[in-house]
């Protein structure tokens, strides 16, 4: 009798799950990516012309965030990012030769020049900015025209920049204000497509709100008891806003003690 593995099978950013949103069990193949030790948990691409197995459905991973616990989502996030990395590194970026997967490491190896390509994470800072004891800065994304949701200031860290510099630069670029007392809060892997969200809190220091209009359509300091629609539960932005309004911790580190 063959052994079955728990399978993260993706078509792009959609995952195969059963009607209870649980993972299927499959026989592992040589082309699967192993997650963790042994072959008990695997990641695999569902090819575009492959039929969806009976009893299973494709669900966007973003939706599962609301139903799954942090650990489940993190493993799914790891799976989808490793699959995407493998799809995008089929050739050596140095000499163009087709690559092969390394036997034990997560590395795509070039047999011609020995260059190794590892999965890469994009660091992205996200900041919750307060003014006084009862105000928080929230901004509406200009690209998201249909939604009334207000989120936090976020952006990619540039080459050669510290995380704190990235916080100051993004805030000044997007809303024109200066911040002080920047403090680290927590982090979250965010597989859309391969970011590490690094959360900070900061206090308003000076300046008037001035929007970078191609990025932000509105930004205001809201009273804590009169917030607009905010990002969904499961996102780090939601936890950061709750941290300021309710005093709850941002990182779900309770599981580390189990």
Give the shortest CB-162-to-Zn ion separation in angstroms.
33
Can residue 113 be called a binding residue for Zn ion (CB under 5 A)?
yes
* Cα–Cα separations (whole angstroms), residue 158 to 12, 124, 137, 163, 199: 27, 9, 23, 9, 16
- Taking the least distance from each CB to Zn ion, the nearer of 46 and 110 is 110
Q: Is 121 in the site for Zn ion (CB under 5 A)?
A: no
Three-state SS letters, 158-170: CCCCCHHHHHHHH
Minimal distance, residue 155 CB to Zn ion, in Å: 33
Residue 12 corresponds to which tokens in the numbers above?
A: 């792009």
Pick from 28, 110, 136, 153 the residue near Zn ion by CB under 5 A: 110
CB 114 to Zn ion: min, Å = 7
Coil, strand or helix at 217: strand
Task: Verify binding: residue 115, Zn ion, rule CB under 5 A.
Answer: yes
Compute the CA torsion angle 234, 239, 242, 247 (nearest 10 deg). Answer: 130
Give 41 or 92: the residue with its C-beta nearer to Zn ion: 92
CA distance 129 to 136: 6
216 binds Zn ion (CB under 5 A): no
Taking CB under 5 A as the binding criterion, the range among 106-114, 157-165, 176-184, 188-196 that sits at the site for Zn ion is: 106-114
The answer to whether 92 contacts Zn ion (rule: CB under 5 A) is yes
Q: Which is nearer to Zn ion, 78 or 89 (CB)?
A: 89
Give yes or no for residue 94 binding Zn ion (CB under 5 A).
Answer: yes
**Helix (H), strand (E) at residue 180:** strand 178-190
Residue 7 to residues 47, 79, 104, 133, 246, Cα–Cα distance (Å): 15, 10, 19, 47, 37
Is the CB of 92 or the CB of 186 nearer to Zn ion?
A: 92
C-alpha angle 137/132/161, rounded to 5°? 55
Q: For binding to Zn ion (CB under 5 A), which residues are involved? A: 92, 94-95, 97, 110, 112-113, 115
């Amino acid at each position: 009798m063959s052994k079955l593995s728990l399978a993260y099978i993706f078509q792009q950013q959609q995952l195969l799950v059963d009607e209870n949103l649980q993972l299927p069990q499959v026989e592992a193949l040589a082309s699967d990516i192993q997650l963790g030790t042994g072959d008990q948990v695997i990641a695999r691409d569902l090819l575009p012309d492959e039929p969806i197995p009976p009893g299973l459905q494709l669900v966007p991973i973003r939706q599962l965030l609301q139903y799954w616990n942090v650990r489940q989502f993190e493993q799914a996030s790891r799976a989808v990012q490793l699959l995407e990395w493998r799809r995008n590194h089929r050739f050596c970026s140095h000499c163009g030769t087709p690559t092969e997967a390394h036997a034990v490491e997560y590395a795509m190896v070039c047999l011609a020049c020995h260059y190794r390509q590892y999965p890469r994470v994009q660091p992205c800072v996200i900041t919750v900015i307060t003014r006084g004891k009862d105000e928080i800065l929230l901004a509406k994304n200009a690209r998201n025209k249909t939604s009334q949701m207000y989120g936090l200031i976020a952006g990619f860290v540039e080459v050669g920049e510290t995380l704190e510099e990235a916080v100051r630069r993004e805030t000044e670029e997007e809303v024109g204000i200066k911040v002080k007392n920047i403090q680290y809060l927590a982090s979250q892997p965010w597989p859309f497509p391969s970011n590490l969200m690094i959360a900070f809190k900061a206090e308003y220091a000076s300046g008037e709100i001035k929007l970078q209009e191609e990025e932000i359509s509105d930004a205001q300091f809201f009273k804590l008891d009169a917030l607009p629609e905010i990002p969904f539960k499961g996102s780090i932005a939601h936890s950061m806003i709750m941290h300021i309004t309710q005093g709850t911790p941002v990182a779900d580190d309770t599981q580390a003690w189990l």
